[in-house]
Amino acid sequence: MKKTKIIATIGPSSDSPQVFAKLVDAGVNIVRLNFSHGGYEVQQNRINMIKRYRDETKKPIGILLDTKGPEIRTKTFKGGEATLVQGAQFILTTRDVDGTNQMCSITYDGLPNDVKAGDKILLNDGVILLEVVCVDDTEIVCTVIIGGVARDRKLVSVPNILTTLPVITERDIQDIEFGIKEGVDFISISFVRSAQSIKVVKQILQDKGAEHIKVIAKIQCSNAIEKLDEIIDAADGVIVARGTLGVEVPIAKMPRLQREIVSRCNRSGKPVIVSTHIIESMINNPLPTRAEAIDISNSINDGADAVMLSGETATGKYPVEAVKMTSSIAIETEETRDYQALLEAHRKHKGNKPADIVAYGACRAADDLAVSAIICPTNTGFTAGVVSKFTPQAPIYALVYDDRVQRTANLFSGVEPIMFEQRNEIMPLIKDSIETLKELGKIKVGDTVLMTFGIPYSNRQTTNTMKIHIVE
């Protein structure tokens, strides 16, 4: 089976039931709803479609709500764009004006208070570079250092400047409350700058009785790199948002930063998603570039649990083909990984927590015995997640009794979550786990399998036991 998970953004190219079903058949595990685009009615229709598909197929397709976040954008230009010339003066203003090649409005009134002479500002997703000359209450006067075409509603970035933007906007709160009502499985927080954003969202979820929803931090600004460890500790997972992050940090540093973020998440046992420009040429072409194929493979070898497709599946001409290609690259990469070397590399990071030590030991035994499967009966998905952390070669079957846990566990690399009636006694748990997987054709008589779980089984996050079993 494919170990690496694929997250697909749903948009006009993929929000019909026919195309969506083909995406899942091609390898999609989780769908992303981008709340920067589309109103509640549009998103509601997409959620209803996903739920109908889940009901019909019983496939655990999770829903990730991606918030817009506290971003800064240009407003509109006359004719939709303006060409900024190197060396010319250009003014960013908080007043509402029709944009020209001399001035445009921005969406954040506080920016004049956050920047000073000499600071750098990037427009149009990093294509245009401005240097601040002087500032007053409403206007930021700049010199164009690198010119280009500025367009409507494009991202404005201020690298290495701590703005006074709110950690969570009122719109984000409304979107999160909508997601709670609709039963989404993950909420990704855009433009996270510290752990505070994560804590605020988790408090909202707790107040609404929705603590089961996993909070994913999007690393997409330079401030987040400085607070990376506290963000990883606070979040349930991380997205490496390479597009916007690559605007704020030098491009030459991006390969190292991606590996560093992925590695830190691996060590913490938090699932990590690599996103943006995954297979972008397939928005318009039926095949990817060789560089894109290598990039996907490298991301998997770096330790990514999942890759996330954006425009490829949302607005592209070849959404199904893009997923098929990503799946085939993932499978090819996984088949040639050196799992023994990976396990040895993880050894020094296993820590001294009982769950980590047991999970590492289980993976080591699974490798030595060449087991057919690692079986993880789990209440919360915790055991499957901690086993996944050590990248075993054997498939990991997470037996869960809550369909919400089934969908969130589906984010971990190598984990196939399967619904299973809850058992409170250990011997029936072991016997029925084996029988369930035999009936599903996952294991067969004569196979050696390894089980790991916690005793007492009713306790949460107490992985402390492993058992080697010959299937009869």
Question: Which among 13, 24, 34 is positioned nearest to 323, based on CA atoms?
Answer: 24
CA distances (Å), origin 251, targets 98, 242, 247, 255, 440 = 32, 10, 8, 8, 47
CA distances (Å), origin 58, targets 9, 61, 116, 284, 312 = 21, 9, 56, 33, 26
Known catalytic membership, residue 32:
yes
Longest dimension (CA), the chain: 78
Question: Which among 168, 222, 221, 228 is positioned nearest to 198, based on CA atoms?
Answer: 168
Interaxial angle between packed helices 170-182 and 40-57, expressed in degrees from 0 to 180 and rounded to the nearest 10: 30
Question: Which among 246, 335, 260 is positioned nearest to 302, based on CA atoms?
Answer: 260
Question: Which among 350, 346, 420 is positioned nearest to 381, based on CA atoms?
Answer: 420
Catalytic residue among 9, 276, 333, 408: 276
Q: Helices in 348-424 by DSSP H: which ranges?
A: 354-369, 382-388, 403-409
Catalytic residue among 73, 151, 227, 364: 73
Question: Which among 8, 6, 10 is positioned nearest to 42, based on CA atoms?
Answer: 10
CA distances (Å), origin 403, targets 49, 78, 320, 386 = 17, 50, 26, 19
Catalytic residue among 5, 46, 202, 218: 218
Catalytic residue among 4, 5, 9, 32: 32
Beta pairing, strands 448-454 & 463-470: antiparallel
Beta pairing, strands 237-241 & 128-135: unpaired
CA 296, CA 322: separation in Å to the nearest integer?
A: 12
State which amino acid sits at residue 42.
V
Known catalytic membership, residue 73:
yes
Separation of CA 59 from chain center: 20
Q: Are residues 58 and 144 in contact, defined by beta-carbon separation less than 8 angstroms?
A: no
Active centre residues (catalytic): 32, 73, 218, 276
